Amino acid sequence: MFLQFLAQEWLLAAALLVTVAMLLFHESRRAGRTISPQQAAQLINRHQAVVIDLRDAAEFRKGHVVGSMNLPFADLKARMGELEALRGRPIVLVCRLGQTAGSAGKQLAAAGFDPVYRIGGGITEWQHQQMPLQKR
């Protein structure tokens, strides 16, 4: 039945697919562009990007991107004012696996921060790529 519908209404099905793809693309961009650990390092070194680590303080102390700022995701809304001085600078978000950074990216974009990036795979991917970590 469904396949028969698709065969008869292929144009409608194609339009639906294109619409869904465009919606997913738009939503992913609103959360900040996903970048690799190497691209993040280039932004940090060439454009003085600020790295915001969204993990809790205990995880942050175990190892974080050198020079990053710890701002747990749970505190983001309450501490948004602390980020005002960073307006206009590239912001790179990192969490454990890269998923929380998407939600944080949406919040920052809605508050007018631009550009916002997020490290795909989070700190886990950063470590997997053998990028340097700072521990305290």
For 83, the domain range is: 32-134
Question: Is 40 found in the same domain as 1?
Answer: no
Question: Is 111 found in the same domain as 46?
Answer: yes
Question: Is 52 found in the same domain as 11?
Answer: no
pLDDT digits (tens, 9 = 90+) for 59-115: 999 999 999 999 999 999 999 999 999 998 999 999 999 889 999 999 999 999 999
Q: Is 54 a catalytic residue?
A: no
**Dist CA 121 CA 94 (whole Å):** 9
Closest CA to 30 of 98, 97, 112: 112
Output DSSP code: residue 132.
-
Query: For the domain that residue 64 is a member of, what is the CATH number?
Result: 3.40.250.10
Active site residue: 95, 108, 116, 123, which one?
95
The pTM (predicted TM-score) of the whole model is 0.78
Question: Is 100 found in the same domain as 42?
Answer: yes
